[in-house]
Amino acid sequence: MISLFEGFFELQKPLHQVLFSWLPFSAGDVIYIALGIFFLYHFSALFRKKTRNNSIIRMLGVINIFYFTYQLFWGMLYFQTPIIKKLSSQDAPHLNKAKTQALKYLEKCKITRQHVKEDHNGVFVITDLKSIQQEILFQQTRLPKYISGKKAPEILTIKPSLFKNIMSFTGILGYYNPFTAEAQYNSELPSTLIPFTTAHESSHQLGFAREQEANFVGYLIGTQSDNTDLRYSTEYFTLKSLLRFIAEQDPDFVKSALLGYSPAMKRDRAYEKAFITSHQGWLDDFFGFTNNLFLQSNQQEGSVTYSYFIDLLLNYEK
């Protein structure tokens, strides 16, 4: 049954690309804005006796239509065969293996960081985002066939979100719109986050629904790339993920690894931390909670636990 939905996704994917890629803005965001206006109008109508019943019927009708469309275009893909089952080994993540990989990616980050551009404050800055996005499409065609037999998108539909100002206060880096097949990212993010976030969201476009599997596919895309901006962002994400996993069991190792960052990496980390700290608030907590519920309702661990990505990474690296 799931293979039918996978096949349908492959059929409708190029259609979405043709319909929405030519727009310079996110059509999906416009749909969400229109939907918000619709619900605000009909919610206010609930307080008027004459229009109450019609408003309830219309809101329920629209909810059902969008829910059905969501499940048809996207929701059922959460039940695809997990990538972990496609790997030759499926061992549980081991602390010592994670430490080995962390040191490996620390050295990779140090080397790659030397070949990227900086702003006047000595912080990593992206020089050509369009070339990064094109490189992501190219690398999707080079993914191992035993992991992905999905057809890579041929048209670029990665766009900055219209909600970037709000996103900065929610902890949301990017998202995939299943109704238009567009990948959105927050263009206000530090440059360390944007390339990998873009690779992650483009992995959803490819057809990987689970968040940590999209991380893994984004990792495969970025680490194999000759584009230094994309590779550094991906290696940096991988290093942070490994250290986050290790921190639960050996915080002293993580402290030592952080001290081992190059001066340039330390500047990038400080800038990223300052951005996150300056945008923390109740919206961040609220969206973190709701996103956690959403992930758990779609066969995923939740937003706090990243161990599945580490499972995939360590088994793949073997």
> What strand order describes the sheet that includes 158-160?
158-160, 182-185, 174-177
d(CA 192, CA 123): 9
Bridge partners (DSSP) listed for residue 124: 118
pLDDT of 247-262, one tens digit each? 989 999 999 999 999 9
Answer yes or no: is pLDDT of 92 > 80.
Answer: no
Mean pLDDT of the residues in the chain: 88
Question: pLDDT per residue over 155-193, tens digit each?
Answer: 888 999 999 888 888 888 999 999 999 999 999 999 999
pLDDT at 104: 97
Domain ranges, ordered by start, for the chain: 2-76, 83-317
How many H-runs (helices) and E-runs (strands) does the chain carry?
13, 3
Work out the number of other CB atoms within 10 angstroms of the CB of residue 283.
Answer: 16
Instruction: Identify which of 9, 3, 4, 8 has the alpha carbon closest to the alpha carbon of residue 207.
Output: 9
Q: Is the dihedral of CA 28, 26, 274, 127 positive or negative?
A: positive
pLDDT in tens, 23-73: 999 999 999 999 999 989 888 877 777 777 888 888 999 999 999 999 999
**In Å, what is the CA distance from 71 to each residue of 60, 68, 206, 290?**
16, 5, 17, 19
Amino acid at 232: Y
Residue 303, pLDDT above cutoff 80:
no
The secondary structure of the chain in percent helix, strand, coil, rounded to multiples of 5, reads 65, 5, 30
Q: What is the pLDDT of residue 304?
A: 38
What is the Cα–Cα distance from 76 to 73, expressed in whole angstroms?
Answer: 8
In sequence order, the 6+-apart residues with CB closer than 8 A to the CB of 13 are 151, 153, 181, 205, 207
